[in-house]
Chains A and B, each alone.
Chain A
């Protein structure tokens, strides 16, 4: 019996010829990422009384969750992280200028095919888009990695999703993954590795693939892998990032899948995830009139150049409704600079958007742009849990960047196909 992508990477890391689902392996990650919660990791690490971290060049710390500091408490945490980074001479530290950790990890070349990355953030699954097994862990076990370089991981079962066909105009990778979560439910991939295949996936850019791998977490996935191919290779080359093609792994033809799912992309229409679970997904045509007070474009799910481009193309020459606040949080400084160069930022600001600094923003309710009681938001982000973006009496709806832009114009959740 052959092996899946996750089985091959974990077997390689554990120094074993073969692993099977359910087996527990002890492995050393290629990179270990923490964001603002590095503060918590440092606190735990100090309990071990060790003078040095395991590998100063394998720890990556991008600050993004509460940047720039919104409170004295956060400012103190950031200060402590900077002091620790200096004292330990941590190589890969990205202060508040760079952007969202998952975007930075890929942009800076810390996510590479065939490698293993763990991060103290659930959306660490994002790097599966470039064939990297990446998964979220807690702060205390990250401290244990900083101390020992090791972590135990359970070898996951694998779920194979094959997507064929061309999207209709106005339908995007975001709609596809919301549709999949709606079908499989919020625990449909719990503990599992997801592998994506099919011509629809092969045609997607790395950015679109990142949306799939990122949001797979919302059905519980441990990791969500897309085989490294010419598209990913071109991305690494164009970005000037080093990579070792020989490390890329591919499933064996006789690999064992716990479950398979086939999707016809051409049959999809724009999707909306309604409050308060990400699997509460509806076709846009089935939505009742839903007034929104805020529209959010950004996050690790959909804050990249192509997302900003589609929103700008819809909003160019139009006006954001006077009843809506459109907030734009580019995923990274690199993305923001490119969007400025292409003129998208000017178009968005002229239309009435408020452009914020790269970072997580209000996505997790910890920074700027929170919602009041009774307000609704249409957001390109990843979670619509009760209280996620501020008031517990607010409602979060999730959709594509195009839907966010269209809804910002009309003041209600709107089918983007009317605008593209």
Chain B
């Protein structure tokens, strides 16, 4: 995980549920590249074509509510989403995103002022998001979660632990 992420914003509202991010009809898909094609299919048909690697999702409250389906995080990882910033996350989505190695930022400040497609900068060292309308602070993740992210996700993290004989 880089200390500074810069990218284009994809803006969403409150309560973006897992059926919007990854509809249940595609759960039998197992190849992350195919999953990527269906990302946000419940939001707008073919939306994944509008996503570029390095894009940053900025959303409102309760992002990822609903199902525990990890595909809703895997598909965004496969598309190269650099980070997800939201006012709050549903608890299982929060876990899944970290476990997939997606940088995740809970920011209670006025991020709704951030505009779709503007370029923002996230600095994990200072805990600040720099956008056109202002600078927004966010608290760091607990050390345990940060270490999973730094290893690139839970699989690599556990592999490291297993080889260290923990």
- A residues with a Cβ closer than 8 A to B are 24, 36-37, 39-40, 43-44, 47-48, 50, 65-66, 71, 73-74, 77, 120-122, 124, 136-141, 143-144, 147-148, 152, 186-187, 190-191, 220, 222, 277, 364-366, 383, 385-388, 390, 392
Contacts and interface: CB of A to CB of B under 8 A. Distances in A.
B144 interface: yes
Interface stretch (B4-12, B14-22, B126-134): B14-22
Contacts of B154: 140-141, 144
Contacts of A24: 142, 144
Interface string B43-81: 000000000000000000110011111110100000000
B108 to A, nearest CB: 13
Which of A148, A187, A222 has the most B CB atoms < 10 Å from its CB? A187
17 contacts: A48-B158, A48-B162, A50-B162, A138-B70, A138-B73, A138-B96, A140-B70, A144-B154, A144-B158, A147-B158, A148-B162, A220-B65, A220-B90, A277-B15, A364-B24, A366-B27, A385-B42
Nearest to B62: A187
Given A140-B70, A186-B62, 7 more contacts: A36-B27, A77-B30, A120-B70, A137-B68, A138-B73, A138-B99, A366-B25
B29 interface: yes
Contact of B65 (A48, A137, A186, A365): A186
B88 A187 contact: yes
B24 to A, nearest CB: 4
Nearest to A36: B27
A365 B162 CA distance: 38
A365 B99 contact: no
A360 B119 CA distance: 43
Contacts of A124: 68
Contact of B42 (A152, A366, A387): A387
Interface of A is mostly: loop
B30 A48 contact: no
B33 interface: no
Contacts of B96: 138, 140
Contacts of B71: 40
Contact of A37 (B69, B91, B159): B69
B40 to A, nearest CB: 11
A148 B70 CA distance: 20
B66 A385 contact: yes
A43 B95 CA distance: 19
Contacts of A141: 95, 99, 154
A152 to B, nearest CB: 6
A383 B66 contact: yes
Interface of B: 15, 17, 19-20, 23-25, 27-30, 42, 61-62, 65-71, 73, 88, 90-92, 95-96, 99-100, 142, 144, 153-155, 158-159, 161-162
Contacts of B17: 383, 385
A44 B30 CA distance: 11
Contacts of A40: 30, 70-71
Nearest to A152: B144
B152 to A, nearest CB: 12
B155 A47 contact: yes
A47 B158 CA distance: 10
A122 B68 contact: yes
Contacts of A139: 70
A386 B23 CA distance: 9
A366 B144 CA distance: 35
A368 B70 CA distance: 23
A74 B15 CA distance: 29
A74 B25 CA distance: 11
B62 A190 contact: yes
Given A152-B144, A385-B17, A387-B42, A140 B29 contact: no
Nearest to A148: B158
Contacts of B24: 364-366, 388
Contacts of A37: 27, 69-70
Contact of B90 (A77, A190, A383): A190
Given A77-B28, A186-B62, A386-B19, A364 B95 contact: no
B18 to A, nearest CB: 8
A220 B29 CA distance: 26
Given A24-B144, A187-B61, A387 B23 contact: yes
Contacts of B66: 122, 383, 385
Contacts of A386: 19-20, 42
A137 B95 contact: yes
Q: Which 3 A-B pairs have the closest CB atoms?
A: A138-B96, A364-B24, A73-B28
